[in-house]
């Protein structure tokens, strides 16, 4: 499904019935639920999905636009470190609100649904995704190839293909390298949620693509340029590389354990953004929501 969304084969602009049949046939989606997808986020094209799974709820259409806005806000600024949330499906199963229209305006609904989604994400088996790049490295001599292995080991990279160009002394090496493995390992990991069942929200992981704006981050650019400089140094100027984003890879560590690398990454990001250190507990968000309402 994420690949289909990336390719534009599943979008918010499709005919609802045709899209529902496609999702049912290929991904075993409930046909009725697939017809009630409210939006794709972030940026209206991402693989985060909000589905209306309610039955017989009155006035729901009156708050739909506010729910979508709250969902947009949530997926753009996730609870863990205010990074993009990727590959999440939310199912709304029930809604309770005041009958009076004055009490279900945007000022009440938007922050409320955001807190509900946040609480759901915190009780899920959340994991960080790190973007992995495919590097193609050209080495002009076999002697210089030795320096590549040391660089890749330091960056948790691994070589999966190594070929000699026939008739020359040039080697072409292909390797996968996680982006945050550069000089600053705390740069821009993106959050995804695996699975959760809480209250009226279902969360299901969908692997995702890299955000289109990631290369515009100047710190990330420094990491990529840093690899080039290290490569030139380790190969005595005989190594050249080019790269492209290839896939996401899950950092399979619990983000709520202070002893894990993931928690250290999250705390570093929160500190850089001026946020309070430590991920809030879901009961604090629920309690805050109850007090405000």
Same domain, 146 and 175: yes
Query: Over the chain, what is the mean pLDDT?
Result: 76
In a domain, 154, yes or no: yes
In a domain, 255, yes or no: no
Query: What is the rounded average pLDDT of the residues 47-67?
Result: 89
Same domain, 182 and 194: no
What is the sign of the dihedral through the CA atoms of 277, 212, 88 and 91? positive
In a domain, 122, yes or no: yes
Same domain, 32 and 84: yes
CATH number at residue 113: 3.30.230.10
Collapse the DSSP code of 52 into the 3-class scheme (helix H, G, I; strand E, B; otherwise coil) and give the result.
strand
Q: Which among 97, 125, 96, 110 is positioned nearest to 197, based on CA atoms? A: 125
Cβ 70 vs Cβ 64: under 8 Å: no
- State which residues form the domain around 110: 2-127+190-211+264-292
> Highest-confidence range of 90-104, 207-221, 273-287, by mean pLDDT?
90-104
Q: Tell me the pTM.
A: 0.71
Residue that wins the pLDDT comparison between 210 and 153: 153
Same domain, 147 and 108: no
Strands (E), 140-238: 158-164, 171-178, 190-193, 195-198, 201-205
Question: Over the stretch 217-275, which tens digit does the pLDDT of each residue have?
Answer: 434 444 555 777 788 787 777 788 888 888 888 888 877 777 788 888 888 888 888 88
**Number of folded domains that form the chain:** 2
Q: For the chain, give the percent of residues with pLDDT over 90.
A: 12
In a domain, 286, yes or no: yes
Same domain, 245 and 283: no
Residue that wins the pLDDT comparison between 229 and 36: 36
């Amino acid at each position: 499904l994420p690949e289909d969304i990336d390719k534009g084969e599943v979008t918010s602009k499709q005919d609802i019935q045709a899209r529902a049949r496609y999702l049912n046939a290929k991904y075993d989606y409930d046909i009725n639920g697939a017809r009630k997808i409210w939006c794709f986020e972030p940026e209206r094209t991402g693989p985060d999905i909000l589905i209306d799974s309610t039955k017989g709820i009155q006035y729901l259409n009156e708050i739909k636009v506010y729910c979508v806005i709250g969902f947009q806000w949530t997926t753009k600024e996730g609870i863990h470190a205010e990074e993009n949330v990727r590959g999440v499906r939310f199912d709304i199963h029930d809604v309770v609100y005041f009958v009076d229209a004055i009490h279900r305006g945007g000022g009440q609904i938007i922050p409320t649904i955001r807190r509900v989604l946040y609480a759901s994400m915190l009780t899920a088996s959340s994991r960080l995704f790190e973007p992995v790049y495919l590097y193609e490295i050209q080495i002009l001599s076999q002697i210089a190839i030795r320096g590549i292995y040391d660089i890749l080991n330091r960056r948790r990279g691994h070589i999966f293909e190594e070929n000699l160009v026939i008739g020359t002394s040039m080697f072409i090496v292909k390797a996968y390298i996680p982006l945050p493995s550069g000089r600053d390992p705390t740069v821009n990991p993106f959050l995804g949620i695996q699975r959760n069942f809480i209250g009226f929200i279902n969360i299901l992981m969908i692997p995702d693509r890299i955000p289109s704006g990631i290369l515009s981050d100047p710190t990330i650019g420094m990491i990529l340029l840093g690899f080039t400089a290290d490569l030139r140094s380790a190969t005595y100027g005989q190594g050249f590389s080019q790269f492209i984003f290839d896939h996401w890879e899950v950092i399979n560590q619990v983000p709520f354990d202070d002893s894990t690398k993931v928690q250290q990454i999250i705390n570093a990001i929160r500190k850089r953004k001026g946020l309070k250190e430590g991920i809030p507990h879901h009961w604090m968000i629920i309690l805050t929501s109850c007090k405000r309402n």
